[in-house]
Structure 1
Amino acid sequence: MSKRLDDAYQWANSADGPVLVAVEGREEQGIAAESHSHARGQLFGSLNGVLSVDVEEGVWLVPSSHAVWLPPHEAHAGRSHGAFRGWSVYVAEPACADLPQRPCTIRTSGLLREAVLRACTWPIDASTPPLDAGRAHLAEVVLEEIRSSPPEPLGLPLPSDPRLQRIARALIEDPADERDLDQWADWGAVSARTLSRRFVSETGFNFSAWRQRARMMRSLEMLAAGAAVSAIALDLGYSTASAFIQVFRRTFGQTPTAYRARL
């Protein structure tokens, strides 16, 4: 973990110090964090690459164009795919009262990005004083961007039924698993009818569409990590690379190669 990101963790659960602490860092091997929470609210994103974030509502795949907001005490886990360069902002709990009360993803506007990167240059050692007028104004710009930016869904919603959630997480771990709905129902100790009906009511997707979305999300992670398109297709259970490319284009409006070029 880079020193700059390490230094910020002292503030993640601190009620003292500035209303807002921001850090930027880089990790050539990527980052991974098991489930945890912070006393402060957190806004974070990448400057290049893709992050996957696991929250109660589901699993989100977050490109560099977006950021994740987590209110205080919200459990989450996450990892990057490939080398990581990104930023994180910790907001004192009292200042989170009028910010979103549920986790969400928002688009990173140019104003938000520049304000955060400027705040990343502020000192964050133990003697950090309260923000002066100029820095307090910039901190309020960041808070207003969080407050006013509409959430944009980038995730894979999880069902709430524990039996269905167990099936869903197994598919997230191995999207290429070819068992059909009846076989998954047997494995999850639930009737096929209940599995089919509740998947729609609890996620908004039927079982087949949800599994296809899980495969597409994994493909974005693999593209960010540098995997070849043909290898991704085979690893995700597609019979040919062209079949994978066709589904990817239908889902994202461009080919995997074009998407990787944007990363």
Structure 2
Amino acid sequence: MAEFDISTDFDHLPVIGLAEEYQPSEVHSTHSHRRAQLLYASSGVMSVTVSSANYTIPPQRALWIPANVPHEVSCRGHVSLRTLYFNDELAARVEQESFIVEVSDFLKALILELVRLGTTNSYGKRSQLITELLLGELISMPPAPCTVPLPEDFRLRRVCQHILEDPSNKLTLDDLAAIAGMGRRTFSRLFKVQTGVGVAAWWRQVRLMEALSMLSSGERVTTVALAVGYESPSAFTSVFQKTFGMSPSEYRSSEVIQHTQQ
């Protein structure tokens, strides 16, 4: 496992900000950081795998990753990455597990300003105040439904990989059990024990994660619905609205507008 270190030139700073651009399909294989990280894309969608979960991160959300936690990052399209790295003292005030949060306009502004200030080799009173506001906002924001838990059992992981690679496939429960090399009942029971949800609910979340990526890229709702395995746009819209509190077309419009404003 590789460790991506931030330059030691900035070790004295409580918060380090980094802005980078990544190309479509670019992958950062499993690595970790010496500091806790707030991973945010001002545009584009990332897929991040931590040991126990897979996260989809569109621009309305950010992912907290504690220090020294291995993770892999995949870019679904062009990604404008804005990352903050926190020293141990600041990180101790936040959860010690990975979690994903909604990014309000206020939180976004704080992230972008700290990124701008983050590698100026100074950390004054204004930076301190912004950091305090950001940590308070980060802790108080609600968790976002963009996560699928991953099982520990390697046989179940094999099944999950099949679904993650193609959320629209038509494999039956018997097919999935066969891939795992288990009986249907054993497979269903163990899957729920290790992920906390049934196979159908887990698969639905994967489909929605893929839909977020496609909608963020400007794909039409009908195209997305069929591509992720729904029989009709109306069925897809119903599930999407219930999960995210907005219709797919509303989400798509907000993403397209945000991208053109970058």
Compute the TM-score of the two structures, normalised by the length of structure 2. Answer: 0.81
Aligned partners of 1:52 and 1:78 also within 8 Å: yes
Rounded to whole Å, the distance in 2 between the matches of 1:21 and 1:108 is: 19
Cα separation, partners in 2 of 1:229 and 1:172, compared to 1, 3 Å: same
Shift of 1:84: 2.4
Shift of 1:157: 1.4
Is residue 167 of structure 1 aligned with residue 159 of structure 2?
Answer: yes
The count of residues paired between Structure 1 and Structure 2 equals 252
1:3 is aligned to none
Is residue 46 of structure 1 aligned with residue 41 of structure 2?
Answer: yes
Shift of 1:243: 4.5
- Aligned equivalent of 1:70, options 46, 61, 65: 65
- Aligned equivalent of 2:180, options 174, 188, 196: 188
The residue identity in structure 1 corresponding to 2:66 is P
**Which secondary structure state, in structure 2, belongs to the residue aligned with residue 61 of structure 1?**
strand
1:138 is aligned to 130
Shift of 1:87: 1.3
Rounded to whole Å, the distance in 1 between the matches of 2:139 and 2:241 is: 33
The residue identity in structure 1 corresponding to 2:135 is L
**Which secondary structure state, in structure 2, belongs to the residue aligned with residue 120 of structure 1?**
helix
Comparing 236-245 with 36-45, which one deviates more in the overlay?
Answer: 236-245
Write the mapping of 1:1-263 to structure 2, written as runs, cut at 5 A: 11=6, 16-27=11-22, 29=24, 32-122=27-117, 124=119, 128-129=121-122, 131-263=123-255
Cα separation, partners in 2 of 1:41 and 1:66, compared to 1, 3 Å: same
Structure 1: runs of 5+ lacking an equivalent: 1-8
Aligned partners of 1:54 and 1:60 also within 8 Å: yes
The residue identity in structure 2 corresponding to 1:132 is G
Comparing 144-153 with 175-184, which one deviates more in the overlay?
Answer: 144-153
Task: Let me know the Cα RMSD of the aligned residues.
Answer: 2.9
Shift of 1:176: 1.9
Cα separation, partners in 2 of 1:149 and 1:209, compared to 1, 3 Å: closer
Shift of 1:121: 2.5
**Which secondary structure state, in structure 1, belongs to the residue aligned with residue 38 of structure 2?**
strand
Comparing 141-150 with 169-178, which one deviates more in the overlay?
Answer: 141-150
Rounded to whole Å, the distance in 1 between the matches of 2:118 and 2:200 is: 50
The residue identity in structure 2 corresponding to 1:198 is L
Aligned partners of 2:145 and 2:244 also within 8 Å: no
2:260 is aligned to none
Comparing 113-122 with 214-223, which one deviates more in the overlay?
Answer: 113-122
**Which secondary structure state, in structure 1, belongs to the residue aligned with residue 19 of structure 2?**
strand
Rounded to whole Å, the distance in 2 between the matches of 1:12 and 1:100 is: 25
**Which secondary structure state, in structure 1, belongs to the residue aligned with residue 18 of structure 2?**
strand
The percent identity for this pair of structures is 30
Compute the TM-score of the two structures, normalised by the length of structure 1. Answer: 0.81
**Which secondary structure state, in structure 1, belongs to the residue aligned with residue 110 of structure 2?**
helix
Offset from partner CA, 1:80-128 (integer Å, 9 cap, x none): 4333234110112343233211011123244433332222222627xx2
Aligned partners of 2:5 and 2:33 also within 8 Å: no
Aligned partners of 1:12 and 1:40 also within 8 Å: no
